[in-house]
């Protein structure tokens, strides 16, 4: 089960290019874009895409692997902050904003199906839990909020923004609630 023989130079180049272009295209148009569009955008034939990624889902898995890693790094950098409550607020803002600009993040946060992705998603979840824990310890966030609640809230805010609520307003409402001020 060792390393396959190394890719031919052009093949390696194409694989990298396809993945990079696919990330860009998907971030703009979402996962519904036809494989043919990605191929065209990358300047290769569909066959070439399929030689490198056996199915569309596999290609998307590769993209999500990247994205989840990026989000996790973001969370971990925030978890270091010495103002955990502010870091938590920034995460909520930042992730919603990022999701609005990159249509692939949503799926990254939500539906992780591929086996190898599960592990990554767990890592992300653990990082979020740490960030949340710090914020709670600092008294910035209600103590009963679970990591799962947090994920849900992020999704909820994204949807609010998708339906026309400005980002800041969505986060404000989520943070403050509906009760009288």
Partner DNA sequence: CAATATACGGAATCATCATTCCGTTTACAA
Partner DNA sequence: TTGTAAACGGAATGATGATTCCGTATATTG
Interface contacts to DNA, rule CB under 7 A: 5, 7-11, 14, 32-36, 43-48, 50-52, 54-57
Q: Least separation, in Å, of the C-beta of 33 and a copy of itself?
A: 18
CA dihedral sign of residues 131, 135, 141, 145: positive
How many Å apart are CA 128 and CA 140, to the nearest integer?
Answer: 15
Tell me the CA distances in angstroms from 62 to 19, 39, 106, 157, one per residue in order. Answer: 8, 16, 15, 26
Among DNA, a copy of itself, none, what does residue 28 contact (CB within 5–8 Å per kind)? none
Among 140, 147, 167, 168, binds a copy of itself (CB under 8 A): 140
Would you count residue 47 as binding a copy of itself (CB under 8 A)? no
Q: Which CB sits closer to DNA, 43 or 139?
A: 43
Q: Which CB sits closer to a copy of itself, 55 or 152?
A: 152
Among a copy of itself, DNA, none, what does residue 44 contact (CB within 5–8 Å per kind)? DNA
**φ, ψ (nearest 5 deg) of residue 110:** -95, -80
Contact 36, 18 (CB under 8 A): no
Which value, to the nearest 10 degrees, does the dihedral of the CA atoms of residues 85, 89, 90, 96 take?
A: 150
Q: Which CB sits closer to a copy of itself, 122 or 149?
A: 149
Would you count residue 32 as binding a copy of itself (CB under 8 A)? no
105: which residues sit within 8 A by CB, 6+ positions away? 67, 71, 95, 98, 99
Q: Which residues form the interface with a copy of itself (CB under 8 A)?
A: 110, 139-145, 148-149, 151-153, 155-160, 163-165, 169-170, 173-181
């Amino acid at each position: 089960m060792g390393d396959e023989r190394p890719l031919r130079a052009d093949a390696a180049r194409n694989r990298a290019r396809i993945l990079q272009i696919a990330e860009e295209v998907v971030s703009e148009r979402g996962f519904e874009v036809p494989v043919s569009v990605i191929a065209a955008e990358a300047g290769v034939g569909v066959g070439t895409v399929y030689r490198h990624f056996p199915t569309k889902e596999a290609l998307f898995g590769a993209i999500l692997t990247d994205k989840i890693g990026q989000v996790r790094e973001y969370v971990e950098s925030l978890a270091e902050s010495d103002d955990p409550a502010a870091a938590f607020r920034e995460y909520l803002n930042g992730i919603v904003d990022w999701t609005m600009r990159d249509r692939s993040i949503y799926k990254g946060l939500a539906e992780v199906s591929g086996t190898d992705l599960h592990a990554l998603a767990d890592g992300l979840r653990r990082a979020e839990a740490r960030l949340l824990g710090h914020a709670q310890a600092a008294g910035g966030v209600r103590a009963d909020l679970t990591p799962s609640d947090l994920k849900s809230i992020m999704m909820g805010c994204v949807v609010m923004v998708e339906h026309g609520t400005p980002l800041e307003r969505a986060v404000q409402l989520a943070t403050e609630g509906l009760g009288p001020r």
